[in-house]
A = this chain, B = another copy of it.
Amino acid sequence: LRNRCGVPQKNLSACDINNAVLDMARKSGLITKGWSFDEAGIMLADCDLVFLCILPAAMHNFLEKWETAFKPGALITDIAGVKKSIAAHAEKIREDIDFIPGHPMAGFEKGGFINASFVNFTGKNYILCPLARNKPENLQFIKELILRMDFGRITETSAACHDEKIAYTSQLCHVIAASLIECESDTSIARFGGGSFEDFTRIAMLNAPMWAELFVSNRDVLLEKINRFEKSVDVIKNLVLEGNISDLEQILVRVRDRRLNMSDYCKTESGG
């Protein structure tokens, strides 16, 4: 596994619930030392920069348990897929530590350390939700680190705005992918796939506990997005039912033009 920042790593520690994974990471040369969750306090006392990579509910528990353990002056960030509750917690944290909430928009449908090298950061989006209390030099440091990891674009926004946008671009897509697989039990149907089906359902191989928690943590916004999506499906469905080719065509032209306009923002666009 390569060190994605390209910087010499003299003292990179990791804390995990699985000791076997820590061993693997240590033997691969990625980390210098692994710590069990019980030892998190010892590790944190020595860390200038901390990436919290745990689910939101567990992160709140972790921060409550270990808040006093962080090194004075430490810079903390996280990668959780919802940001409102995280930012609220970060606002109230010890004054001598600085927590900048973040969300790298890059994932892989198979989780775990052994699949980590398949995650591609190149050109991807990274969202930061800085707080008024964050130190400018820390924000600058995090942004440089993100670009060194090869992300393509950093967007700074509020936690509320993040949760609203992400409900559409990420959570709704996962709801759709899951629904698409849920409504068809014949697994050999992929013989009839032409690419879009495989693309649509790849994210259905999701981390179930994580997404169940994320969906519910962002309930109100997600429900609004699902409702709006369902209304659009119904409009198209009714035109198909009526056999109204000309109105269907009008919608599809509008949709194509809108998506073409979005392409400027789609850094990961493939093809010609």
Contact = CB atoms under 8 A, between A and B. Distances in A.
Contact of A205 (B184, B230, B259, B268): B259
Contacts of A200: 173, 176, 199-200
A124 B205 contact: no
Nearest to A153: B191
Nearest to A250: B208
A161 to B, nearest CB: 9
Interface residues of A, number: 105
Interface string A180-199: 11111101111111111111
A272 interface: yes
A174 interface: yes
A130 to B, nearest CB: 16
- When all copies of this chain in the complex are counted, the total is 2
Contacts of A105: 192-195
Contacts of A125: 191-194
A267 B257 CA distance: 31
Contact of A168 (B184, B208, B266, B269): B184
A107 interface: yes
A3 B237 CA distance: 40
Contacts of A211: 248, 252
Interface string A144-184: 00000000010100000010011011101111111111111
Interface in A209-242: 209, 211-213, 215-216, 219, 222-223, 225-237, 240-241
Given A110-B272, A248-B212, A191 B236 contact: no
Interface of A: 105-110, 115, 117-118, 124-125, 127, 153, 155, 162, 165-166, 168-170, 172-185, 187-206, 208-209, 211-213, 215-216, 219, 222-223, 225-237, 240-241, 243-246, 248-249, 251-256, 258-266, 268-272
Which A-B residue pairs are the 6 nearest by beta carbons?
A105-B194, A190-B265, A208-B252, A179-B232, A212-B248, A165-B192
29 contacts: A105-B192, A108-B272, A109-B271, A110-B272, A117-B272, A153-B191, A168-B184, A169-B189, A169-B192, A173-B180, A175-B240, A176-B180, A179-B235, A181-B259, A183-B228, A183-B231, A185-B258, A187-B264, A189-B262, A193-B266, A199-B200, A206-B252, A208-B249, A208-B252, A211-B248, A211-B252, A215-B240, A216-B245, A230-B230
